[in-house]
Amino acid sequence: KRRVHLTPEQASEFYAEHYGKIFYATLIAYISSGPIEVLVIARENAISILHELIGPQNSFKAKATAPASLRAIYGTDDQQNGIHGSDSFTSAEREIRFFFPDMIVAPIPVRLAAKDYLVRNVNPTLLKGLTELCKQKPKDPVLWLADWLLENNPNKPHPIDMVTS
């Protein structure tokens, strides 16, 4: 999540695909008129689920057909609809890179892939930690386990030992 106030130039870059369309100038003025909240939503079918939540692009249509949608609640007309949602995975990747240039955009493991990842990578380390927790019986088990997991993370980088000659 990030709050930004786009300049007209940044807004023009973000909405470059709409350049030349009749609503372009109004869109740029609107999106750069004040701060905006930018979110990345990561889950299976995120785009279709988000579009159900935000409703039809036209706020008037949203008020008539999806009155509980975000655009019905916050939109004022067919252009100032209050919410932008990526329309495809490709658009989402581009838009995430625009607002969060340091974020790694990678597919989220789903169902069997997620289960396989947990079985191969998380469960063995967690089992060792929980076994050691039972042996140690610390006063604050949650804090102890958190520290143990940080210390025993198999993906933790290890500095290369310096060899002196």
pLDDT of residue 112: 82
**Is it true that domain 2-99 has CATH number 2.60.40.1180?**
no
**Residue spans per domain, the chain:** 2-99, 111-151
Rounded to two decimals, the pTM is: 0.64
Residues with a known catalytic role: 84
SS3 74: helix
**Res 133: pLDDT:** 97
Distance CA 70, CA 55 (A): 7
- Size of the chain in residues: 165
* Residue-level pLDDT at 105: 83
Class of domain 111-151: mainly alpha
What's the pLDDT score for residue 56? 95
* CATH fold match for the domains 2-99 and 111-151: no
- What residues in the chain have per-residue pLDDT under 70? 158-165
- Which secondary structure element, helix H or strand E, spans residue 144, and what is its range? helix 141-151
pLDDT 10s digits, 40-52: 998 888 999 999 9
Q: With contact defined as beta carbons under 8 Å apart, do 79 and 30 qualify?
A: yes
